[in-house]
Each structure stands twice: as C-alpha cells, then as structure tokens.
Amino acid sequence: MTAITLIQGDITQQSVDAIVNAANSSLLGGGGVDGAIHRKGGPAILDACRDLRASRYGKGLPTGQAVATTAGDLDARWVIHTVGPVYSASEDRSELLASCYRESLRVADELGARTVAFPAVSAGVYGWPLEDAARIAVETARATETAVEEVRFVLFDERAYEAFAGQVR
C-alpha cells in the first residue's frame, strides 16, 4: 500500500527517487515549480528536455502525459515532467488533471522509483481551485495501482498544505 505524506516546503530540496515537475508543454522551463526545478537541477535537465523535444515531443508534451529525465543536481534520480491542464469553469478538465498523477506514477513504476514527490499540479498559475486540485490529487494517488511506496505531496505554503491535509485525513 502506498503511503501518502504531506510536507510544507520546497520540492527541490526533497531527497526522493523522483520529483514531479509541473511542466509546461514545451519542456523548456518556465516559472513556478518548473522554473525552480530547472534552476536548482542545473543544465542537465534542460539538455535532456531538449533531447526529448528533438526525438519525441517536437510539438510539446501533451496535457495529462508524463515523461522522465535526469534530475541533474537535485537530490533525486529522476524528474518526471507532467503537463497539467489550465482550469476552466466552463469545461470539466478534471480527468486531465487526474491523468497527470496516474501517468507520473506509471512512469515512476517504469523507472523503479519507490519515493515520489509531487507539487500541487495546476494549482498555481494554471488557476485550478486549490481544494479541488487537492481532492483530485489525493484521490488519484490512492486509486492508482503502483509499486511506489511513498507519494509525498510537497506544498509550498500553509494554505496548500491545509487543503491537502483536509483530503488526507
């Protein structure tokens, strides 16, 4: 059974097998979690992302999908990049958000990862309401069959931590 743990802090400081990056589809870095992972992980991550774009994802990584690269200078073996959906009040995109977590865990299983740190995918600049993002993340992590032993949600601030804590209780 997969343990779910919560930490308020910086995802780039986690010592885990894999860190999940809330990436943009270009895979070439950006703001928020994506920018922090690229800055702290160093150029090896960007180089690996460029290779992925050249070989498989020339048009970008599709929303809801996941792919792994080296973790560069991070205290992890891999970074699993996933592209979350932008929130829409007029269109239910929750299945795409759930897919980010399922696909990231599938990639983690392929890699043999046992510990995986996730951010709150889509709950930042992509505008997903925090409580709903937390519900989808926790429900999906619980429902996904995986060999991952620990899913660690690393939340940047107290508000996010509390939203996820309300789902884990």
**pLDDT tens digits in sequence order for the chain, 169 residues long:** 899 999 999 999 999 999 999 999 999 988 999 999 999 999 999 999 999 999 988 889 999 999 999 999 999 999 999 999 999 999 999 999 999 999 999 999 999 999 999 999 999 999 999 999 999 999 999 999 999 999 999 999 999 999 999 999 8
Cα 130 to the center of its chain, rounded Å: 15
Nearest to 103 by CA among 161, 146, 133: 146
User: What pLDDT is attached to residue 4?
Assistant: 98
0.85 surpassed by pTM:
yes
Hey, how many other C-beta atoms are within 10 angstroms of the C-beta on 109? Answer: 16
What are the φ and ψ backbone dihedral angles of 71, each rounded to 5 degrees? -100, 5
DSSP state of 2: -
Domains of the chain from N-terminus onward: 3-168 (3.40.220.10)
Hey, how many other C-beta atoms are within 10 angstroms of the C-beta on 68? Answer: 21
Q: What positions carry a catalytic annotation? A: 34
Structure tokens at 64: 């809801």
